[in-house]
Amino acid sequence: MKQTAAQSPDASRLTPHTALVIFAKAPIPGEVKTRLCPPLTPDEAATLHGSFVLDMLERSKLAVAKLQLPFHRYLACSPSSELVFFKIMEERQSVHLLDQVGEDLGQRMHRTSVDLFAKGYKQVIIVGTDVPTLPLSVYQEAFALLGRSDLVLGPALDGGYYLIGLKQPTEKLFTGVPWSTDQVLAVTQQKANTLGLSVGLTTAWRDVDTIADLQTLTTECQEDNKKPKQDRTFSMRTAGTLQLLATRLKTR
């Protein structure tokens, strides 16, 4: 990292003590959104994923600016922060890059939190990229909940979580978790209870892992498109991608 936390482009009136980390894979065909293939092709799945990454970066940046949230934003990159895609995100979205390090998702999230706490942050919030319509208010919720809880989780409707907020590195929260199953949230809550950690829950939200999730998102997008442009939740980029995919899927 070339910049220190105090030099972050997201700095507000006071130096923030919270790091907001977006966990993202590069949009490489065959390596992202594989549960959507088929019926999507690897290229289509990668395009959709890339749009989601941009959505999360844009919306988190808006949350910081519009809600005056005291966050420094980071993008945790896989497989490497040196990829051109991530370098472009760093420049255009004013976000710091980190490499994801570890054998599984739990190890990667724990290692990221350890590194950021070592930089002096008092709170670390990690969010995924599969929730492109996540309300800005959820970031505010997570920050507020961390003020009165040891741990914050953002429940996903499929039994996982789309967000986790920590006040200290806690490796046991990330070990022995059946990742990519409907037990992730419940197991994590059980671990927190065993460790004596209080847990705050943000608004439950749907992430996009399966074709059924994609179809629901497409329907929501169609309804969103009926609103005035200034009131729409979906970016024009993602709305266009979803419309194109919906048209293509009708012939498959």
pLDDT tens for each residue of 216-236 = 999 999 999 999 999 999 999
Could you read off the pLDDT of 150-188 as tens digits, one per residue?
Answer: 999 999 999 999 999 999 999 999 999 999 999 999 999
Q: Is the pLDDT of residue 14 over 80?
A: no
User: Is residue 199 in a domain?
Assistant: yes
CATH of residue 132: 3.90.550.10
Q: How high is the pLDDT of residue 252?
A: 86
pLDDT, average across residues 68-81 = 96
Is the model more confident about 12 or about 116?
Answer: 116
Burial (CB < 10 A; 0-12, 13-18, 19+), residue 236, is exposed
Counts of helices then strands in the chain (DSSP H, E): 7, 7
Under 8 Å between Cβ of 60 and 73:
yes
Q: What percent of the chain has pLDDT over 70?
A: 94
pLDDT number for residue 15: 52
Would 248 be classed as within a structural domain?
no
Within a domain: residue 157? yes
Angle of CA points 158, 174, 58, to nearest 5°: 60
pLDDT digits (tens, 9 = 90+) for 75-86: 999 999 999 999
In this prediction, residue 90 carries a pLDDT of 97
Query: Is 190 a domain residue?
Result: yes
The count of structural domains within the chain is 1
- Residue 203 belongs to domain spanning: 13-207
Average predicted confidence (pLDDT) for the chain: 93
**Bigger pLDDT: 107 or 6?**
107
Residues in the chain: 252
8 within some domain: no
Of all residues in the chain, the percent with pLDDT exceeding 90 is: 92
Between these two residues, 5 and 23, which has the higher pLDDT value? 23
Residue 228 lies in a domain: no
Is residue 99's pLDDT more than 80? yes
Look at residue 185 and tell me if it is in a domain. Answer: yes
Residue 49 phi/psi, 5-degree rounding, is -60, -45
Q: Say if 174 falls within a structural domain.
A: yes
